[in-house]
Structures are given as C-alpha cells and as structure tokens.
Structure 1
Amino acid sequence: MTEGNFVDYVKMHVTSGKGGQGSTHLHREKYLAKGGPDGGDGGRGGHVILRGNSNLWTLIHLKFKRHIRAGHGGNGSSGRSTGADGEDMYVEVPLGTVVRDTETNEVLFEITKDGEEKIVAQGGKGGRGNWHFKSSTNQTPRYAQPGIPMEQKDITLELKLLADVGLVGFPNAGKSTLLSVITSAKPKIADYEFTTLKPNLGIVKHRDFQSFIMADIPGIIEGAAEGKGLGYYFLRHIERNSILLFLIPADAPDIKKQYDILLDELRRYNPEMLDKDRFIAISKSDMLDDELQAELKVELDNNLPIPYVFISSVAQQGLMELKDLLWQALNN
C-alpha cells in the first residue's frame, strides 16, 4: 500500500430513510358501499449500517463519499397492505474503525470483527394505517399516522490499525528500513526526519510458514502526547498492538533515556499502553565493532528493564533472533 492510499480519518453526513405514511383508505367493492377502514401501515425507513470487512485496510474508499443516504419507506395502501421498507445502506469499513459523533466527539461504537454490523442512523418507523383506529364509536376513521422522520447525523470514522507488533521510535530511527527488510512492504525511506507521514503495515514471514503483522507509524518526538510533531495524530494506531517494539539506534547518546522518553509519551497519551509486552531493538548495530557492542551490552544489562536485541536492517544482522523473540511473545 502506497503512502498516498492510506486514509485513516474520514468525516461524513449520514441520513436514514423516513418511515412511510399510513393509509386512510376505506374498503370499497361492488355491492359493498361501506366496507370500513382497511388502510395499511407505512414501511420502515432504511437504516445506515456500518459493517466490518477484514479485506479492507484503509478508509480510502470513503474519502470522497461525504453523504450517505438510505431509502425511504413506502406508504401503506388498501387491503391492509404494508408499504415497502426503505433500502438499507451498508458502509463497509476496515476492522479497528472507531465511530464518533462529530459534534460531541462521543465514541458511538467500534467495529473489530469481520461481518459485524452496527446501525449508525436508525430508519424511521412506518405510520399505522387507519384500520388500527377503528372502534365501536368510530367505525370509519379517516386519519392515519405519518411515518417517523429520518435521522441525520455527522460522524467521524477513525481507523486504529490492528497489528500484532507496533514499532515505536524517534524519527529516523530505522523503523521503515526494518519494515522493508523483514516484510514485503515498501515504505518511503530517506535520510531525514519524518520521512514516514502515514502508517505502514507489513506481514512478517516466520519459520514454518507462520506470519504476523507489523505496523510502522511516524516517529514520536518529546511532547507528542500534547500534539507536538505528528505523534498525537498517529499514536492511536499502536493502541491495538499486542507488542510494542521500541527501535533505538546504536549511535543514540543515551539509549536508556530515549526509551524512558518514548515510554513516558505513551503513558501520557494512554496509561493502558504500559500493560503491553515491550521489547527493544538496538538498530544500526553494524556501526559497532565487537568490543563496543560488548561494552554497550554490559551497560544495557544494568539499565534496561526489558529484553533487547542488537539488529542491523542493512547488514541483515539479528533479524531472525528478533523475529523469534516476537513470535514467542505473541504465542505466550
């Protein structure tokens, strides 16, 4: 998936169908001048329904669909015939979609399962025909109920990626390079910060035809939880990841300090993120000779509270060890 095709935020206006009018028909046929009321009920208005689709990974198909309208219910007719129900409008969304009310910012619901259906705008109920209102004192009612009006709503769709492993790191830490090496994804790679402006997904192939999904999000900077940089906008994409893999380059001035800053940004954004399994990958370790790596290993063993592994995406070092570590954690 190219960067321009990844859409994870869409606003739209949804309108359900209005209910059909109940009929005021009075029964008439040959030799029966006054047969009494037989007006049928109006049909139900169509719903606007969101449905989960596991084959979708982005909201790009909804990017230019700003208005979604369901069909109106048909009016009742003679012979107590009920009007036709309005056509429901189904909107397919990827798994991990959060639906909010645009005006209040309230979360209405989330779609997390394939085929899961949620009504976002309820169709109006059809009005009752006049035969419902006949009585001993009113044998020929000439009125019926109108249908319930349609429902209109402004909604916002936000996609939270469903991935097994989420990559966390500062800009230019090598996240996109790692994703491009161990998956078939082709993220944009360059030697400057914020090369990645959109999240990327890749499928990591492991031993014995096994696989798991890895997500690369734009780099986090200090203050991201307050909206600095790009972090605040994309931090939601790692809320659903089972494992967080912190990527810190070997030439960082203080690896432990960088890890603490990243962890603190996640905590300030959502404290529940700290409940996830966490690992550290020391990237660009091909710059270290054996002696430097041994010294750094002693320092990290004393300071880092979680497992770590030295890797180099360019030199293809430590990648199988990293995949084994992640696969074991996912299956535990």
Structure 2
Amino acid sequence: MVYVGVDIGATYIRVGLIDKNGNVINKVKTKQPSTGDENVVANMIIRLIRDLAMDSSIEGIGIGSIGPLDLKEGIVPWAPNAPIRRFKVAEPIIKAFRMPVVLGNDAMAAVWGEYLFGIGKGADNLIYMTFSTGIGAGIIVDGHLLVGKDGNAHEIGHLVIDINSGIQCGCGGYGHWEALGSGANIPRVIKEFIKGKSYKSRLYDKLTKNGNVSTEEVFQAYYEGDELARDFIDNYLARVYVAGLVNVISAYDPEIIVLGGSMALNNKDLFKGFIERYLRHYLAIPIKPARIEFTEFGDDVGIIGAAALAIRTPDTLSKYVERYKRFLS
C-alpha cells in the first residue's frame, strides 16, 4: 500500500511512491512538456504514475503544483514560469485513477511534508521557502496550513520588495521578490544592475558585449572571485533575499523556517552568510528570529510533501477534496 506524490515544478515534474511514514520507495523525474493543450501536463503525470506504480496498490494521490492555483476548479490558470501557462490538474487525474486527489501549491505541500515527517515535526508555526526558478512558500500557523480563498495565501514571491524597480515579474507586476531574486530572473536583474557601472570582470565583459549569462554562471563567477558577481550577490542579491525573508518572519512569526530549492541547497554557505549579515539589519522590531534550517529531503521534498497531503489531509484542503468528487460522476 503506497501513496503517490506528484511535484509539478516550473522546469521538472517529479512523481514518487511514498510509504505512510514518508519514505521514498521509487521515483521518476522528467522535463515539463513545452507544448500542448491544457491536458498535456496531467496526461504526462498519469503516464508516469502508471509506469511507476505498476502492480502497487495506491492508497491516495497528493499533488503539489506551481501556482498560482484555482483550487476550486483544480487548475493552474496562469503559471508565469512554466512553458504551459494554463493547465488542468485534478480532473484528468481523478478520472484516470477513480480516486480522490489532494491538490496544493508545491511549497504548501513541502511544508506539510516537513510538518509530518521532517525538520518541522512538532512545530505549530512553520514555513518552508523555496528558492529556485521561482520563489515560494508554504506556511503553517498554529497547526493550520494556510490556503486562502483560491489556494494562494502563500505566494510570497510576489511580495513587493522594490517600489522603484522597473523589472516586471512573470505575473505582470513590478518590484516583486521573485522578479528580483529568482533563478528565472537573475539574468535580467544583473543587466540592470551594471547600468552606469564598470568592472574588471569576465562576467561584465560578456554582458556589455550584448551577451546573456545564466544564473548558474553568475554564481560560478562568484565562487571564482569575479568582481561583478561578488558585488551583485554580496551587496544586492543578499539584501533582496533577506529583506523578503524578514517580511515573511514579520507576517507569520514562525518557530522554524526550512529552506529548499536548487538555489538555496546548492549555495548553503552563501545563504547562511546572507542571513547572518543582514537579518538583524532588516528585522528591527523586537521579534525573536526563527530557527532557519535547510531541508534534509533534498529534491525529494516536493514528492514527500505532496504524498503527505494525501497521507494526512490538512483540514483546510479537505473541502476541495470533497468538491473534486464531482469529477468522478
């Protein structure tokens, strides 16, 4: 008897078979489809589940997806960082497997996995934050998973960090945390950062010759001592990250913050340094800082968290599970 955890990211889809204690039995990972209609993502997930599960008896299916979400309809109406912007999730999967599906945002699922099985076990006020293609969070306050009217109570990537920024987020707004600090947007941000400046820097030379750089190149250049990369990351990006982090601490007063996502997990010492340097600078009000840890689940946090939604469904998501039963008729 197993549970299925589905992690729909902006770049990859992961599917895992998880036991009732949160252990990964088997898993698979594939790239997001780049073309297709609103059913293409769900159809790919259905195939992956069938290939992975084989003769296993599936007890439940949990899905954590990039957002924003429309939980009432079980869809992603507009994903700013994904190749397929609008797609169905709940309906096709429920019809394929004839069983209930629990759907939540991917970071929402991750925080529930940490709450049941991970670092946050036993903590009633817990936040999971992901720094990857986008920036997002899952939030538990007083033991309750925050959901919101449409399922987007946790979209912290769209907090406004800079009211003067001319950089547009993928969602259409300006000055958002995700626009200024996510993996998808750093190549644009660093181009703005160098305007009116000059550096003795390989990265600078490439950018000023109308070249493009990737987020991975920027971080690699930092570790190589590149002057521009050092200035950009130490004096701009670090402040962007910690300013957003302080907004979240001030809003939700967590006991523990668990960090995940490829950018954080691949640069742990760097993130620790950012926090040590700037946290108290921005957190001026007398709030006791949360304990900040990195997830111990690595890339599996999404599938473990998604399965956790089905293993023990949060009270705030139960009504949507009931609503989705109409897809069985």
What's the TM-score, normalizing by structure 2? 0.26
Query: Which structure is higher in helix share?
Result: 2
Select the structure of larger CA radius of gyration.
1
